[in-house]
Structure 1
Amino acid sequence: MVRISILVALFVGFLAQAQYGVIRGTVVDKHSEKVIEGAIITLLNTTNIESVSDKDGNFILAKVPLGRQAIRVTMLGYESSTYPEIDVMTGKDVLLTIALTEKFNSLDEVVIKSDGNNKAKSINKLAAVSVRQFSPEEVNRYAGGRSDVARLASNFAGVSTADDSRNDIVVRGNSPTGLLWRLEGVPIPSPNHFSTLGTTGGPVSALNPNLLANSDFMTSAFPAEYGNALGGVFDLGLRKGNNKEYEYTVGLAAFPGAEFMAEGPLGKKGGSFLVAGRYGIVGVLGLAGTAAQPNYNDISFNLDFGKFRWGKFSLFGILGNSNIDLIGKDVELSSDDLFATRDEDGFVTSGFGVIGLKHTLDVGSQSYLKTVISTSTSTETFERDRYFNLETPNEFKIRWTEVDNTESRFTFSTLFNSKISKKITFRTGLLIENFSLENKLFDRDRQDDNNGDGQPDFVNLINNDGTFSIIQPYAMGQFRLSDKLTFNAGLHGQYFSLNEEFVFEPRTALTYAINSKSSVNIGYGLHHQNVAAPLLFLNENINGSLVQSNKNLDLVRSSHYVLGYDLRFADKWRAKVEVYYQAIDKAAVEKTPSSYSSLTEGADFGFSIDKNSLVSTGKGFNQGIEFTLEKFFSKGYNLLFTSSIFESKYKGSDGIERNSPFNNGYVVNVLAGKEFKIGKTKKNVFSINTKFTTAGGRYFTPVDLAASIAAGYEIRDDANAFSEQYDPYLRLDLKFGFKFNSSKKKCSHQFYIDFQNITNNRNVFSRDYNRLTQQVNQID
C-alpha cells in the first residue's frame, strides 16, 4: 500500500535577534580526545566572524547568518579542518565537537586540509575498514526512514532489511542476531518497541535520533574494542544539551509519534540536560499494518553534570514500553494482516530500559580513563488464545501459548586511552556483563496429546531462572608508520560462563594513502558470539526430566577478510569499493542429518522451539563486493548510491550447502535530496528527498501442504530448505519538507510529508499455511 507519514515540528527558544543563529562547540585532539586551546575557528564566506577556543576547548560564533554555513578550524601543528554545510536556524544553536589530527611531521611546510564533516571517516579513530559515520540529520532527512537509525543503515552498502514490517538489518548475509547495539560505550538489548528475546530489531525504534550524536556503523572486521558480534556494530553516542540557553522542540508524526524535547544548562560546572519523550500515534492513523491499535512510548535523557576536580560525570538512559491486543475476530478471513489471524487472540507487552553513569578522568596530558556502569532490562509477555469450531454453536477457545521473558543486565566497562606520541595511540579496556534471565515458554504448538483431552498438551518448553556472564578484555593500538601508512592492531578476549569457553581474537587493519585522494584498506578479524538465548535454554524431555540440552554449545566463530579502495575524485564526492569474505563455523545444528542451522534464525519475532541436543558443527560463508558513490551534502544537494552483490550459504548437519534466508543476492539503493531557498530573504527552505531500493527476494522453505493439512498445523518441507525465492523487492519513497525561520522570534517550524512505497508495489511479507482455508496464503 501507499503509506503517508506526516511530520510537523516546532522549535521554540527564548532569545531575540531571530535573524541570526549561533554555532558553538569544543575542539579536541582526535587521538588523545583532550581539549585544544588556541584553535582558530573562522566562519567562511563572510567577514569578521571568528573565534578562538578557550582553555576548555570551547568556542562560540555569534550572529551567524541563517542557512547552510561553513567553518574552517586551524591550529599550529595540526591539520586544518573544514566543516561545510552546517544548517543554521533560529531557535536552536548548532553544537559541534571538532576533532583535529596532529600533523605527522611538524616540519612539513605543506598545509594539509581535511573535511571534518566527512562521513567516510569514523568517530572511533581505531576503526579503519568497513565503517561509516552517520549523523542525526541524515536519519531525519531521508525519505521512508521513519526517524529510525536502523532503517538509515539499511541504505549503506552491504546492508538490507528483512522486510518492511520490522527494522532488523542483514549485514553482508548475516542473521540480524549477529548485530551488536552499543550506547555510550556499553552493549544494550534491542532498542526497539515490541522486541523479543534474542532478536535485535522490531517494528518501531525506541531510539530518538534527536538525542544522538554523530555515530559509527560497522559491517566487518571490527576493532578489538568490540566483541560478541558476527554481523555488524551500531556504536551510538548521545549528544549533550545546550549548556548556555534553554531550547524546546515539539513534534508530531506518524512515526515515531508525538514528541516533546527540552534542553538547557545544568548546575554551575558547565553541565547541561537533554530530555525527550515520545508517544506513538501510528495506530490512530491506520498505518500499523494490522487491525489492532499498537501503543508505545519512550523517554530518553542525557544529563551532563560538567567538569569537576575528580572528573566529568554524566547520567544517560532510555526507557520504553509497548503493547498491542490482536483480536482475531477483528480480522477478515482473507485478510493480509501482518500480525493477526482470524482464529487467535494475542496479547503482547514489551519493555526496554537502560540507565548508565559515565565517568571520564584525565590522566596526565595525553591520556584519559573512561568508566561506565549501567543496568538494562528487556521484558516481553505474550499470551495467545486459539478458537476452535470458529463461529459455530460449539465454538470454544483455549490458552495456546504463554511467554514471559525478562532479561536484566549489569554492565561494567572501563577504557584507558593514551596518545603516546603523534604516531602511536594505545587503548585497552575491560567489559564485564552479568545477565540475569527469567524465561518461561508454555506452548501447545506441535505437541502430543498425552493426557487424552483431545488437545495438544500445554508443555513447558523453557523454564529458566539463572545467570551467566560475558567478560571481554581487549588491547589495541594505532601506529602511523608514515604520513601515508597507518597500521591498526589489537587483541580481543571473550569468556562465556555457560560453557566456560575463553577465546582470543586477533584484529588488524592497514591503510595506505596512495595519494591525497585515494587509499587502500586491508582488514582481518576473528569474532565469536554465543548462540541466541532462546535456543540455549530450550527444555528437552529426557526420560521424564526437563533438560537444557543446548546450554553448553560452543561460541559461533567467524573470520572476516576485507579489501577496500577509497577514492575522493572531486570535492565532496567519494567512491568506494570493498570485497569481503566471511568464513563461519561452530554454528549450532542437529545431531541427526537435517537442514537446520542456527545461522538461519533471527529475522522474525521468535526462534525455533523444537531444536534440542544441538551440536556445534555447522558451517557457513558470506562473500561479496560492494560499491558506494556518495556526494556529501553541499551546494544544496546530496546523493548516495550503493550496490552490493553477495552470496550467503550455510551447511546443516546433512552437509548440503544451501542458500541462507538472507541470501538476497543483490541490493541497490539510490538516495537523493535537494534544498531550495525560498522567501524574500531566502532564509526559508523547501526540500525534496527520494529513495529507491531494489533487492533480490529472500529465500524461504516451502510449505508441505499435504502434511500441513494432515497435521492441522504448518509443516515446512525441510528437505528443500530455502530452495525457493520471493519476488524481488522494490520500493520508492518521496519526501517533501518546508523549514521556516521566524523573522521576529527565535523559533523555527519544520513540516514534512513522507510518501512511502509510492509505486504501490506489493512486496512479499510471507507465504504461510492458513489453518482455516487449508491453503498457502501470501501476505504482502
Structure 2
Amino acid sequence: MKTPRLLLLITSLLCIQTAVWAQTQTIRGRVLDKQSKFPLVGATVAVLDTKPLLGAATDADGYFIIENVPLGRHIVRVSYLGYKEQTRPNVVVNAGKQTILNLALEEAITSTDEIVITAEKDKTRTNNEMALLSARGFTIEETSRYAGSRNDPSRMAQNFAGVSGANDSRNDIIIRGNSPTGLLWRLEGVDIPNPSHFGALGTTGGPVSMLNYNTLSNSDFLTGAFPAEYGNGISGVFDLQMRTGNNAKREYMAQLGFNGLELGAEGPFSKKSKTTYLVNYRYSTLAVFDALGISFGTGTAIPNYQDLSFKVDVPTKNAGRFSVFGVGGFSNIDLLASKTEFDPNDLFSQSANDIRQKTSMGVVGLTHLYFFNKNTYSQLNLAVSRSTEGTTIDSIYRNPNTKVVEALVYRGTRDFRQVKYTLREQINKKLNARNNVNIGVILDWYQLTMVDSFLVDGGSRFRRLRDFNGGSGLLRGYAQWQHRFNDQFTLNAGVHYQQFLLNNTYAIEPRLGLKYSFTPTQSVSIGAGLHSQLQPLQVYFRQEDGTGIRTNRDLEFTKSRHLVLAYDNSLTPNLRLKVEGYYQQLVDVPVDADYPHFSLANAGAGFGIPTLDNMTNGGTGRNYGVELTLEKFYSKGYYFLFTGSLFESKYKGYDGIERNTAFNGNFVTNGLLGKEWRVGKRNTLAIDLKVTYAGGRRFIPIDLEASRQQNDEVLLYDQAYEQKLDDYFRFDFKIGFKMNGKRITQEWFIDIQNVTNQQNVFTRSYNTTANDIQTTYQLGLFPLVQWRLLF
C-alpha cells in the first residue's frame, strides 16, 4: 500500500504548489487581412471563458497583447467590422512561455447594408485561401499530441484521410496510392529538398525528420487538386511555416526524447527593437536507447544525426518585414554486416555488404515582404539549399557456419551532391472583397555532382552508372484568381507553367476549384487540374552501359490529372464530417522496354530511387477512391479523429498490362482519441490512443529455386505486385503530464508504440547464407519517453 500513498502524496503536493502560485500568462499576436496580408487596426481580440472577460484591440501594426490570462486552455475570438468573425478554440496557455497567435480574417461580402458575421470554429482551415478542398490546416500542438507521431509532422500527417504510412522505419507520405516522391515540400514559401535524416536524394522521407515542431507554426497539408502556385508535385503538398520569435520577452526550451537532445531560444534582440530571433539545436540520443537494449530495426547500427533550425524576423515600415530562415542537418550510419552476428530475423545481419552512408541537407533563405498599399504586396524569396548523399559498399562473405570470412571486396560507391539556388517573386492584389489576384515566377538553378559505380557481372567489372558535374534550371510561372460571388459561393481559377532547361520540356497546367456553402454548416466543393513533376534528377543522368550516353536525358514530366468532389458538414461547432471522392490519371510515366513490368510510379517502394537506362514516357496509371473524416475538435476535455480510405491504385508498364502499384493497400483506417484532466488548478494529465489498420504493402514474389541456383535473389517480375503482405495493425498509447510552476512549464510523456507487439511484416528477402526466404518484421513493442522544459 506504500506506492498508492506515495503517488497520492506527490499529486497533493503538486496541487498545493500550483494553487499557491496561481499563475497567469500573456497572449499576444497579430491580426491580418486574409487576402491582402495587411494588418487590421482596431480589431477586437477577446478571451471568452474568463471572468472578468479579458481582451484587447490591435494597434497600428495589427499587434495585440492580453495580459493576466489564467493558465490552461481558452477560447479566443477576434472580430472586426465588415469581416467574418473567427473563434480559435483550445488556445493553450503555459507558465513557461507566452502564447503567440497569428490570426487572419476574411472580409465579408454583403448585398445589403447589414454586415452578417459568422463564427468560424474549423481549426482545419488552411493558411492558403486558394485551397478549397483536399486540404487541411493543422496546428503544431497536434504534432506533439497524437500518439505515435514522434513529434514528426510527416508521421502526424499519416493520420489524415487518403494518407498511408504502414511503415515503422520511415515517415514517407503516400497519398492516394501515389509514390511518396510525388510530394512537394515547401518551407517559408520556398520548395526544399527532402527534410529527413538519412534521406536519399530524390526521395521525400526518411527515418527521422529534420523539421522541428518547436520552431514550426500552423501549416497546410494538401492531397490533391491544389492551387496554381504549387508546381513540380503530383500527389500532394506540405506547405510549412516557421513561427516568429517572441518580440517582447526572451524564452528558452530544453527537451530530451526519442528525436534527440534539444535546446532552443527565442526573443527580441533588444528591448528597443522588434527584431526577433528563434533558434533550436538537436543532437541524436538514439545511442542512449541502444545502450538500454531497445532495438530500432537496424541491428547494431547506431543512427547519428544533428540539426539546426533558425529564423530572424526584422519588421520594416508600412507593415513589411525581412526574414532570414534556415534548416539543416547531418546524419551518418554504418550498416556493417561483418560486425553483426547472423540473425535470420535481422534484415541487416542477413546482408552480404558493409554499407557506410552519410547524408546532409540544408536550406537558408531570405524573405522580403513589401506593401505598396494596404491591398497590394510583393513577396521576394531568395534561397540556397544543398543535399548530399555519400555511400560506400564493401562485400563480405560468410562460411556455411554463418561466420564472416575476413576477405572484403570493394563493391561500389556513390557521391551525389545537389546545390539549388531559388528566386521566387510574387505579387498579390486584393481588388475588392470579391476578387483577389496572385501572380508569381520561380526560378530554380541546380548545380549537380552525380558519380557512382558498382561491381557487376559477378564481380568481373565495374560499371559507371553516372558521371556528371554541371547545372540546369527549372523555370516556373503561375497566375491565380479568386472570385467570391457571395459569402456562400467561391471560385478559384489559375494556371501554372514550368519548363526544364536541361531538355526544354514544358507543361501548361490549368487549375480550377469551386466551393458552395448551401447552409451555414454545409458545403460542397469540386476541384480539377493538371499537375506535372520532374523525374528525380539522378534519373536524367543515368548512362547506358559501355557508351556513357545519358539515354534518359530527354524524359518529359510525369503528368497527373486530378478530379475531386468533396462534401463538408459541421455537425456541431466542434464536430466535423468530411467526405471526398477522387479520380487521378497519370500519364507520361517513365517505363523501360527491357523490364516490361517496371514503372517509376513505384519509386519509393524500396530504400532508394530505381533508375534504368533507355527509359521512355510510355507509362500510365490511375488512382481512385473515397475518403471519410469524422473529427471532434478538442472540447469538454477530449477529442477524437476517425479517418477511413478505400482506394485502388493501378499502373501500366511498357508491356501495357495493368497491375497494382506497390502502394495499393486498398484501405487505410485510423482512430485517435484523447482525454485531458486537470490535476489541481494548473496541471494536466492527458491520455491519447491511436489505432491504425491498413492493407498490406504489395511486393514482387521471390523465385526460390532460381535464387538457390544462382545464389542470389531472383524475382518473379511477371507476378509483380499481385500479392500483398499481411494487413498492418498497430495500437499506440500515450500518457503525459504537464506541470506549470512559478515561471516554468515541465512536460513529461511516455508513448508506448505497438502496445500489442503486433508482428507486422517489413519485408521478405532471399538470404544467401540460409538459402531460404527470410521474413523481417517491423517495430515491436517500443516505449518512447520525453521531457520538455519551457522557461
TM over 0.5: yes
Distance 1:340 1:443 in 2: 21
* CA gap 1:293/1:500 in 2 versus in 1, 3 angstroms: same
Is residue 386 of structure 2 the alignment partner of residue 362 of structure 1? no
Distance 1:712 1:499 in 2: 42
Is residue 320 of structure 2 the alignment partner of residue 296 of structure 1? no
Note the C-alpha offset of 1:335: 4.0
- Counterpart in 2 of 1:665? 666
> What SS does the aligned partner of 2:548 have?
strand
Is residue 274 of structure 2 the alignment partner of residue 270 of structure 1? yes
Q: How does 1:432-443 map to 2 (within 5 A)?
A: 432-443=443-454
Is residue 39 of structure 2 the alignment partner of residue 35 of structure 1? yes
Note the C-alpha offset of 1:310: 9.8
After superposition, the CA RMSD in angstroms is 1.7
> What SS does the aligned partner of 1:441 have?
strand
Is residue 723 of structure 2 the alignment partner of residue 724 of structure 1? yes
- Counterpart in 2 of 1:715? 714
Is residue 96 of structure 2 the alignment partner of residue 91 of structure 1? yes
> What SS does the aligned partner of 2:203 have?
coil
Note the C-alpha offset of 1:17: 7.8
Distance 1:284 1:214 in 2: 32
Amino acid at match of 2:675: K
> What SS does the aligned partner of 1:373 have?
strand
> What SS does the aligned partner of 2:316 have?
strand
- Counterpart in 2 of 1:513? 517
Amino acid at match of 1:355: V
Distance 2:629 2:23 in 1: 39
Note the C-alpha offset of 1:712: 2.9
- Counterpart in 2 of 1:201? 205
Amino acid at match of 2:393: R
Amino acid at match of 2:365: G
Distance 1:566 1:27 in 2: 27
Distance 1:339 1:275 in 2: 36
Note the C-alpha offset of 1:587: 0.5
- Counterpart in 1 of 2:9? none
Structure 1: tracts of 5 or more residues without a match: 1-15, 450-454
- Counterpart in 2 of 1:20? 24
Structure 2 residue aligned with 1:607, among 606, 609, 614? 609
Amino acid at match of 2:35: H
- Counterpart in 1 of 2:315? 306
Q: How does 1:341-360 map to 2 (within 5 A)?
A: 341-360=350-369
Identify which range, 768-777 or 657-666, moves more after superposition.
Answer: 768-777
Identify which range, 701-710 or 289-298, moves more after superposition.
Answer: 701-710
Note the C-alpha offset of 1:546: 1.1
Note the C-alpha offset of 1:197: 1.1
Distance 1:568 1:673 in 2: 20
Asked if the contact 1:360–1:369 (Cα under 8 Å) also holds between the matched residues in 2, the reply is: yes
Is residue 286 of structure 2 the alignment partner of residue 282 of structure 1? yes
- Counterpart in 2 of 1:598? 600
Amino acid at match of 1:225: E
Note the C-alpha offset of 1:425: 0.6
- Counterpart in 2 of 1:318? 327
Identify which range, 546-555 or 303-312, moves more after superposition.
Answer: 303-312
Note the C-alpha offset of 1:717: 0.8
> What SS does the aligned partner of 1:582 have?
strand
Structure 1 residue aligned with 2:772, among 763, 771, 775? 775
- Counterpart in 2 of 1:765? 762
Asked if the contact 2:343–2:350 (Cα under 8 Å) also holds between the matched residues in 1, the reply is: no
TM-score under structure 2 normalisation? 0.92
Distance 1:106 1:183 in 2: 39
**Residue-by-residue CA offset, 1:481-535 (whole Å, 9 max, x unaligned):** 1221100000000101122112110000000001001000000010111122232
Identify which range, 344-353 or 640-649, moves more after superposition.
Answer: 344-353
Distance 2:614 2:338 in 1: 39
> What SS does the aligned partner of 1:201 have?
coil
- Counterpart in 1 of 2:781? none
Distance 2:316 2:89 in 1: 30
Asked if the contact 1:17–1:746 (Cα under 8 Å) also holds between the matched residues in 2, the reply is: no
Asked if the contact 2:649–2:660 (Cα under 8 Å) also holds between the matched residues in 1, the reply is: yes
**Residue-by-residue CA offset, 1:285-331 (whole Å, 9 max, x unaligned):** 03432211111110100111222479411100011011112221333
Distance 1:338 1:257 in 2: 25
* CA gap 1:340/1:351 in 2 versus in 1, 3 angstroms: farther
Structure 1 residue aligned with 2:418, among 395, 402, 407? 407
Distance 1:209 1:615 in 2: 41
Distance 1:761 1:132 in 2: 31
- Counterpart in 2 of 1:173? 177
> What SS does the aligned partner of 1:137 have?
helix
**Residue-by-residue CA offset, 1:118-137 (whole Å, 9 max, x unaligned):** 23311100111100001110
Asked if the contact 1:318–1:354 (Cα under 8 Å) also holds between the matched residues in 2, the reply is: yes
**Residue-by-residue CA offset, 1:696-755 (whole Å, 9 max, x unaligned):** 11111001222222333222111111111100000000000000011xx21110000000
> What SS does the aligned partner of 1:103 have?
coil
Distance 2:560 2:165 in 1: 22
TM-score under structure 1 normalisation? 0.94
Is residue 141 of structure 2 the alignment partner of residue 141 of structure 1? no
Identify which range, 630-639 or 752-761, moves more after superposition.
Answer: 630-639
Identify which range, 389-398 or 353-362, moves more after superposition.
Answer: 389-398
Q: How does 1:644-723 map to 2 (within 5 A)?
A: 644-679=645-680, 682-723=681-722
* CA gap 1:132/1:394 in 2 versus in 1, 3 angstroms: closer
- Counterpart in 1 of 2:11? none
- Counterpart in 2 of 1:635? 636
Distance 1:338 1:593 in 2: 27
Asked if the contact 2:567–2:578 (Cα under 8 Å) also holds between the matched residues in 1, the reply is: yes
Note the C-alpha offset of 1:339: 4.3
Note the C-alpha offset of 1:283: 3.2
Asked if the contact 1:162–1:662 (Cα under 8 Å) also holds between the matched residues in 2, the reply is: no
- Counterpart in 2 of 1:3? none
Distance 1:442 1:617 in 2: 28
Asked if the contact 1:709–1:774 (Cα under 8 Å) also holds between the matched residues in 2, the reply is: yes
* CA gap 1:269/1:369 in 2 versus in 1, 3 angstroms: farther
> What SS does the aligned partner of 1:87 have?
strand
Asked if the contact 2:447–2:471 (Cα under 8 Å) also holds between the matched residues in 1, the reply is: yes
* CA gap 1:761/1:86 in 2 versus in 1, 3 angstroms: same
* CA gap 1:393/1:726 in 2 versus in 1, 3 angstroms: closer
> What SS does the aligned partner of 2:343 have?
coil
Distance 2:480 2:351 in 1: 56
Asked if the contact 2:365–2:381 (Cα under 8 Å) also holds between the matched residues in 1, the reply is: yes
* CA gap 1:252/1:389 in 2 versus in 1, 3 angstroms: closer
- Counterpart in 2 of 1:56? 61
Is residue 123 of structure 2 the alignment partner of residue 119 of structure 1? yes
> What SS does the aligned partner of 1:150 have?
helix
Identity of aligned residues (%): 42
Is residue 431 of structure 2 the alignment partner of residue 420 of structure 1? yes
Amino acid at match of 2:144: N
Structure 2: tracts of 5 or more residues without a match: 1-19, 778-791
> What SS does the aligned partner of 1:547 have?
coil
Distance 2:417 2:151 in 1: 27
Distance 2:86 2:169 in 1: 41
Distance 1:157 1:289 in 2: 28
Amino acid at match of 1:114: A
**Residue-by-residue CA offset, 1:519-560 (whole Å, 9 max, x unaligned):** 00000010111122232221112xx42111111111111100
Asked if the contact 1:220–1:232 (Cα under 8 Å) also holds between the matched residues in 2, the reply is: yes
Distance 2:709 2:30 in 1: 69
- Higher relative contact order, chain-length normalized (CA < 8 Å, sep 6+): 1
Asked if the contact 1:330–1:342 (Cα under 8 Å) also holds between the matched residues in 2, the reply is: no
Structure 2 residue aligned with 1:584, among 586, 594, 597? 586
Amino acid at match of 1:518: Q
Is residue 241 of structure 2 the alignment partner of residue 237 of structure 1? yes
**Residue-by-residue CA offset, 1:189-228 (whole Å, 9 max, x unaligned):** 0000001111000010010011111000000001000001
Distance 2:668 2:403 in 1: 48
- Counterpart in 1 of 2:3? none
Amino acid at match of 1:711: Q
* CA gap 1:489/1:342 in 2 versus in 1, 3 angstroms: closer
Amino acid at match of 1:258: L
Structure 2 residue aligned with 1:259, among 259, 262, 265? 262
Note the C-alpha offset of 1:65: 0.7
> What SS does the aligned partner of 1:408 have?
strand
- Counterpart in 1 of 2:470? 466
> What SS does the aligned partner of 2:286 have?
coil
Distance 1:424 1:577 in 2: 28
- Counterpart in 2 of 1:5? none
Identify which range, 472-481 or 378-387, moves more after superposition.
Answer: 378-387
